[in-house]
A = this chain, B = another copy of it.
Amino acid sequence: MSPIRGPGPPPTTTLTTVTSRPALDDLHAIVPAGGSGTRLWPLSRQARPKFLLDLLGDGRTLLQQTWDRLEDLVGPDRIHVVTGIAHTSGVREQLPDLSHLVVEPSPRDSMPAIAVAAAIIAETDPDAIIGSFAADHVIDDHAAFADAVAQAVVAARTGLLVTIGITPASPSTAFGYIEGGDPLEVDGAPAALTVRRFVEKPDLPTAQEYVASGAFSWNAGMFVVRASVLLDHLARLQPTLHDGVREIARSWRTAQQDLVLARIWPTLTKIAIDHAIAEPVSLEGGMAVVPGRFGWDDIGDFAALADVGAASSPGTIFVDADGLVISGDDTTVAVVGLHDVVIARTADALLVTTREHSQRVKEVSAALQELGRADLQ
């Protein structure tokens, strides 16, 4: 480009006013970064979980891509990551601009992770809206995601627990579903509906009914809610857990922080947010869903990884064969006469399976344990 600028039209502010999206100044993002992804072994390990991997080969790990999406919405200073002690250094290395990190002394499932972050946020911003987004999901349309979050924030400001449900791309049996009800009719959240119920992973005919009805979304575990509302629900439904996270939050950023966390954390009920809060509150009529019309996947296994567009390593040779071949180095891989194959190589391990057996890869972990090779898990 020329360094010389000629006369042109005057600067405009058009770029900042193309949408009427409400400001998200009260939104804080919580990113629970947990789970090892045993169905993506040997790429994912207990010491190197899915969220720390660049599974799509595009130069950013899933955690970093989650960061990128959220930083666009709330900036770097309102993102709170909650992760296990084993992954602290990995998270810090990948997110150099992260300022809020909660390190779990042990895994207690998603409710304690989200609740402790919400309680910490509520200490300094009692009106805060929190949005919880897993660290290892893939979303293909940042604008549509941002629009769904903005509508969810508006709905959450009315005191509802709001989830962003994914408009199904297929009758998947790998996800739970959320049945939407009547329109919420809140200004700024035109797509929001009341939630009728959460349902667990269905069988295929049921999933097909759900998708055909148009009333169901995939449960992507994205929750948007005023922090104080979440904590009030928790006080009713899981009072011990509520009291514990409140106590941790009061000590946060004091000299007592680590001691209190170490003392309280092991006493917190190990429970998922769906079971602790979302399901009971939905039955009380306290939940809304904003349908998310974007491509989404939690990359639960290699079949999902192929579906989200992961490409085989360059130089892979298929002779009457096809599938997904991920080779960690420049080893040449040749596949002869196998279709829908899945091959994943690392420096110390090799997996060979097929797309249809992708879910069973988690069984390798138990086999490694039996062989005394827990170092490879």
Residue positions of A touching B, CB distance < 8 A: 41-42, 315, 317, 319-320, 327, 330-338, 341, 343, 345, 347-354, 356-357, 360-361, 363-364, 367-368, 371, 373, 376
Contact = CB atoms under 8 A, between A and B. Distances in A.
A260 to B, nearest CB: 42
B319 A364 contact: yes
A327 B350 contact: yes
Contact of A350 (B42, B320, B334): B334
A315 B371 contact: yes
A316 to B, nearest CB: 10
Nearest to A348: B331
A351 B334 CA distance: 5
B353 A337 contact: yes
Contacts of A373: 315, 332
A129 B345 CA distance: 53
Contacts of A41: 334
A121 to B, nearest CB: 42
B317 A335 contact: no
Give the residue among A335, A352, A364 with the most B Cβ atoms within 10 A.
A352
A303 to B, nearest CB: 12
B360 A319 contact: yes
B336 A349 contact: no
A349 to B, nearest CB: 5
Contacts of A356: 337
